[in-house]
Amino acid sequence: MSTVRTPSAVPLPPASGAWREGDPPGRRQWHVREKPLALEAGGELPGVRLAFETWGRLAPDRSNAVLVLHALTGDSHAAGPAGPGHPTPGWWDALIGAGRALDTDRWFIVVPNVLGGCQGSTGPSSPRPDGRRWAGDFPFLTQRDQVAVEAGLADELGIARWALVIGGSMGGMRAVEWAVTDPERTGALLLLATAAAASAEQIAWANIQLHAIRADPHWRAGDYHDAGPGRGPHAGLGLARRLAHVTYRSEAELAARFGRSPQDTEDPWTGGRYQVESYLDHHADKLVRRFDAGSYVTLTHAMNSHDVGRDRGGTRAALRRVTARTLVAGVDSDRLYPPTQQAELAASIPTADRLRLIESPYGHDGFLLEVEQVAALVRELVG
């Protein structure tokens, strides 16, 4: 007789997985901007704050600062264990630390949680000046708006020039914006699995994810944050995560890892799951417990808006403004941000070396998982 999974006694997730005032701060620090932030698409934010974490010590001449920019569902906790205030371990833990490629005995590492995010930075789950949450009224952001706030953080820290700016995927979008917007503030640049502009296919995949979230009856036009456990748009956010995760991995890896195997004793013919379905369920459940659907929507829109050549005479003209020594790397199995996009960056940035390829079966996630290859690129670029 086949065994079919039954619901477990796992606690319901909160309406939003966002960090909230009163939660443990963990390693977070905050940069507060009190003056209004004019937004590229129009309007303004009356004031913002940016959560960030640092590792290492800033040199007296402030020449050793490294800016690390996270991808869509990342945050400021790039290194260190999970603990109070940090539900997951550092997402690039093997890259940051004493003796590692980003050696904290040498470098001062700064990792902000992006504007629009949900782990301490101003975003849809944050309160407005009158105390109400922004929720569905949070304004449209672009990568340039996000970089403008990060520049304010650099100013507050007294960092006139980053020794290195590094980012992959969405973080790479901001990294290239940094190098084009403020060339004199970017000493070296490492772009991983990213693009000069979001492609039609990337926008299309993102659009389906946005529809999944907004079709959830618990979305409530984005005003759900105080609805109580189990009352957030978890089904929609979970579906968006499942879809996204398939694009983050390669077909070959999924086939080799899961094939057509059922999950444990479950029988897919009688309502059970295949292993790959259980894998996607697991990642969906993890995300709804640590992330915010409103931030997912806000940041996805910002990624779709990404075009480094907008109002700058086109992509090639914009990228010619980069003066930082640059390495561009793609993942050979990436089907979401294919290496052709990184080839365009490498060919258009005058200070870039040839395109490098990270060899990985993991697809787009290779830039996070193939740490030794990324570490080699860091060491090549900054020693």
Catalytic residue among 121, 169, 333, 348: 169
Nearest to 319 by CA among 68, 328, 39, 330: 328
Give me the domain span that covers residue 72: 29-198+308-382
What CATH number corresponds to the domain at position 105?
3.40.50.1820
Is 179 a domain residue? yes
- Rg (the chain; Cα; Å): 21
Residue 3 has pLDDT above 70, yes or no: no
Assess contact for 353 and 327: CB atoms under 8 A.
Answer: yes
Is 125 a domain residue? yes
Residue 367 has pLDDT above 90, yes or no: yes
Is 215 a domain residue? no
Is 246 a domain residue? no
Average pLDDT over residues 15-36: 96
Which pLDDT belongs to residue 1? Answer: 36
Q: Which pTM was predicted? A: 0.96
What are the structure tokens assigned to 41, written together? 């698409």
Which pLDDT belongs to residue 10? Answer: 79
What is each CA distance from 289 to 161, 267, 299, in whole angstroms?
37, 28, 18
- The number of folded domains in the chain is 1
Assess contact for 161 and 127: CB atoms under 8 A.
Answer: no
Quick: pLDDT tens for 276-308: 999 999 999 999 999 999 999 999 999 999 999
b/e map of 164-187 (b: 16 or more CB within 10 Å)? bbbbbbbbbbbbbbbbbbbeebbb
- Per cent of the chain over pLDDT 90 is 97
Is 371 a domain residue? yes
Is 278 a domain residue? no
Is 5 a domain residue? no
DSSP-H helix ranges across the chain: 143-157, 170-181, 200-215, 234-248, 251-257, 275-290, 293-305, 315-319, 339-348, 366-369, 371-382
Quick: pLDDT tens for 107-144: 999 999 999 999 999 999 999 999 999 999 999 999 99
364 has catalytic annotation: yes
Catalytic residue among 334, 348, 360, 365: 334
CA 312 to chain centre: 25
**pLDDT mean across residues, the chain:** 96
**CB-count exposure of residue 357 (10 Å: 0-12, 13-18, 19+):** middle
C-alpha to C-alpha distance for 175 and 167, rounded to whole angstroms: 6
Is 65 a domain residue? yes
Catalytic residue among 31, 86, 234, 364: 364
